[in-house]
Amino acid sequence: MSEKNVRSLTIDREDMLALTRRMTVKRTSITRIAGAYMDPDRFVDGTFNTRFLNLSISDKERNLEIAKSIPFAETNKVLKRYMIPEQSRGKNSMYQLLAGIRSSGFENDALLDIFYNVVAERYHSDRQYGVFLFHDRYDIPAKAADHVRLGEPEQMFEYLIYAICPVSGDYVAGEPECGFLFPAYSQGGALVHCVDVYQADRSHGEWTGMLLG
């Protein structure tokens, strides 16, 4: 499915800022980070999966910058929202795979391996790159009628951030080339059938088709 054949929805910038404001070492609620390194021949060159709290402070800062790049991107231009068609949510779909990875909290390595293999097969690059996945559980603060925040969380937003970054040397990641936030976030809750797709430029449009078709 090409991008021109799908309809994008509007993203509220304030919703994205609500997520990114928490992406600091002291405030983050990211539970795990997982990923893989791919060589130019589309082979997996190594994988990782660890609790975010186990990272050093410098590694936390570095990875938070990668994660933050997706929701912090220019909304409705670089970051666009799409409804995943009903016919693309069935058995063996990318939607079902991502939903399983999300609900497992990265505890199911078999699902992650399937995802890396799909990326290796579909993503086109002539250089080494890294696949980065972040799992977060955001306790959304409740608000009173006058919109003043209360102490207890009202609900939880569980989501994934995904990014592909070129890597060099000892797997040093550059700026993300593409990625997504799944499910989309709006007004304090999940849009379970929507995904926010990030593209730094138009050279990697295959992700839109992969997610929606």
What mean pLDDT comes out for the span 84-104?
A: 94
| pTM reported for the whole predicted model | 0.90
What mean pLDDT comes out for the span 103-127?
A: 93
Give me the pLDDT at residue 2, please. 40
Give me the pLDDT at residue 4, please. 43
What mean pLDDT comes out for the span 107-132?
A: 93
Whose tokens are 């990697």? That residue is 204
Give me the pLDDT at residue 98, please. 96
Q: Which residues contact 170 (CB under 8 A, 6 or more apart)?
A: none
Phi, psi at residue 11, to the nearest 5°? Answer: -100, 135
Residue 5 scores a pLDDT above 90 = no
**Rounded CA separation 34/162 (Å):** 10
pLDDT digits (tens, 9 = 90+) for 130-152: 999 999 998 876 654 444 445 55
pLDDT bracket for residue 111 (50, 70, 90): very high
Beta strand 189-191 with 184-186 is antiparallel
Phi, psi at residue 117, to the nearest 5°? Answer: -65, -40
Residue 203 scores a pLDDT above 70 = no
Give me the pLDDT at residue 153, please. 54
What angle (nearest 5°) sits at the alpha carbon of residue 83, between those of residues 77 and 89? 140
pLDDT digits (tens, 9 = 90+) for 70-81: 999 999 999 999
Q: What is the per-residue DSSP string for 58-90?
A: HHHHHHHHHHHHTTTS-BTTTEEEEEPPGGGSS
Residue 8 scores a pLDDT above 80 = no
Per-chain mean pLDDT for the chain: 88
pLDDT bracket for residue 189 (50, 70, 90): confident
| Residue 101 or 8, more confident | 101
**Rounded CA separation 110/131 (Å):** 16
In the chain, the domains with their CATH numbers are 3-212 (3.30.500)
**Rounded CA separation 196/182 (Å):** 7
